[in-house]
Amino acid sequence: MDNLPAELLLNILGRIKRTADRNSVSLTCKRFHKLDNELRISMHVGCGLHPVCYALTSLCNRFCNLEKVEIIYSGWMSKLGKQLDDNGLLILSSCCPLLKDLTLSYCTFITDAGLSYLASCSKLTSLKLNFAPRITGCGILSLVVGCKALSVLHLIRCISVNSMEWLEYLGKHEMLEDLCIKNCRVIGEGDLIKLGPTWRKLKRLQFEVDANYRYMKLYDRLAVDRWQKQWIPCENMLELSLVNCVISPGRGLACVIGKCKNLEKIHLDMCVGVRDCDIVCLAQKSSNLRSISLRVPSDFSLPLLQNNPLRLTDESLKAVAQNCSLLDTVRLSFSDGEFPSISSFTLNGILMLIQMCPIRELVLDHVYCFNDVGMQALCSAQYLQILELVRCQEITDDGMQLAGQIPQLSTLRLKKCLGVTDDGLKPLVGSYKLDLLVVEDCPQVSERSVQGAAKSVTFKQDLSWMY
């Protein structure tokens, strides 16, 4: 081995993927140790980083080619030692000249000063901050001004980010491709207009409003006009996820949904104001759509709202079925409501999707309209591989016994389904048709009855949700 050229040894060591194996090989001899240090381009550390500055300096000096660093303090307590602070970020910026991807989770001691140190990382393309409560908009601005190559920015529970100059700068710079903003209290739907020309570069947008603390920004006349008059170019958008957002007709995020002609995935979770016309327009423009996930409030389906134009109906599902021939993943869910048995979608609408699209994965949560007739229809679903039924109380043993007749089904998950008993799963026992069967919190299904019903079986019973 001593006679092998360094290039060949680097190629051999590079094929070892498990960190434990790499560590073992690096202890074999000094040459392997040195080459392994050069090969390491990523590092994942947590609460064991102690004392933080000394440990971080040692690691960065040892692994001189680090490009990706993850520091996660999940579960941290004061007795575990001092957390990473601004000095730690100074060490990263000084000792990792090749740093491209940085993730900081639960690093509660870092401030704007630390982000200003990171601004010197000219190669940084991705920054993900999860629960950094001391970071403000000023710190984000200093970083995005310094890191010209930044294309991925995730801000999750950064509750002190208030000023929006950084959004305006990103809008003019036109480099951002992946933006994630979740539960940052002050950042509202209306602020996204500041992205301006950057909309044409965005490929992924995740925007989630904190449902427990909504900073309600009233739309003034100027803000409304800006959304209506500004052209929002979303041709490159591939993934769009909106949670707890207000979708106002003709403005705000409603201007985005219908213009993403290359969209592949959309997730709308508890978004108030979504109309049939929004989904119809989306379906007509986005023929490449492969995944759709809709979670709507059950309150939309109350009798007094039957004529409400904000209510989603089968018209949305029909448009998707007719225009999105590549659709293979569908998730439909309703939040708990006083009358969950009445839904805005009907069985006919769901069956249209199943019959007209190559559905590979179907997830139904609290969809009471789906019953044994729906299970029978699935027997002709040629592409269905994964089926998840959560709180679908109209499905009985008669319908569940048909699961084994779904041609390509390999994974079945049942959760909180009251109408299914041991008898419903009997046809599966011994057939080993399924690769995976998951049964959780179904009161009439016993652990004994599912043994042998799939190659791998997971069973859990916690009935506290019923009381």
**Residue range 265-304, pLDDT digits in tens:** 999 998 888 889 999 999 999 999 999 999 987 654 444 4
Residue 34's pLDDT band, with cuts at 50, 70 and 90, is confident
Lowest mean pLDDT: which of 15-19, 124-128, 322-326? 15-19
Q: Which of 373, 411, 410 is nearest to 392 (CA)?
A: 373
- What average pLDDT does the segment 46-59 reach? 89
Query: What's this model's pTM, rounded to 2 decimal places?
Result: 0.88
Give the rounded percent of residues in the chain with a pLDDT score beyond 90: 63
Q: What is the mean pLDDT of the chain?
A: 88
Per-residue pLDDT, 438: 97
Burial class from Cβ neighbours inside 10 Å (0-12, 13-18, 19+) for residue 96 reads: buried
Q: Which of 290, 264, 265, 260 is nearest to 278 (CA)?
A: 260
- What average pLDDT does the segment 139-157 reach? 96
* Model confidence at 51: pLDDT above 90: no
Fill in the amino acid letter for 61: N
Residue 127's pLDDT band, with cuts at 50, 70 and 90, is very high
* Model confidence at 433: pLDDT above 50: yes
Torsion of CA 235, 237, 238, 244, to 10 degrees: -140
* Model confidence at 218: pLDDT above 50: no
Q: How far apart are CA 276 and CA 35, in angstroms?
A: 59
* Model confidence at 1: pLDDT above 90: no
Q: How far apart are CA 167 and CA 367, in angstroms?
A: 39
Per-residue pLDDT, 106: 95
Report whether the peptide linkage leading into residue 233 is cis, meaning its omega lies within 30 degrees of zero: no
Q: Which segments of 324-460 does DSSP mark as H helices, in order?
A: 347-356, 372-378, 397-400, 422-425, 447-450
Fill in the amino acid letter for 151: S
Contact (CB, 8 A) for 292 and 317: no
Give the rounded percent of residues in the chain with a pLDDT score beyond 70: 91
Q: Which residues pair with 113 in a beta bridge?
A: none
Per-residue pLDDT, 339: 45
- What average pLDDT does the segment 199-225 reach? 72
Per-residue pLDDT, 220: 44
- What average pLDDT does the segment 388-400 reach? 96
Per-residue pLDDT, 230: 61
Bigger pLDDT: 221 vs 355: 355
User: Which two tokens mark 289?
Assistant: 């759509």
Q: How far apart are CA 2 and CA 6, in angstroms?
A: 9
> What would the pLDDT profile of 320-359 be if each residue is shown by its tens digit?
999 999 999 999 998 765 444 455 789 999 999 999 999 9
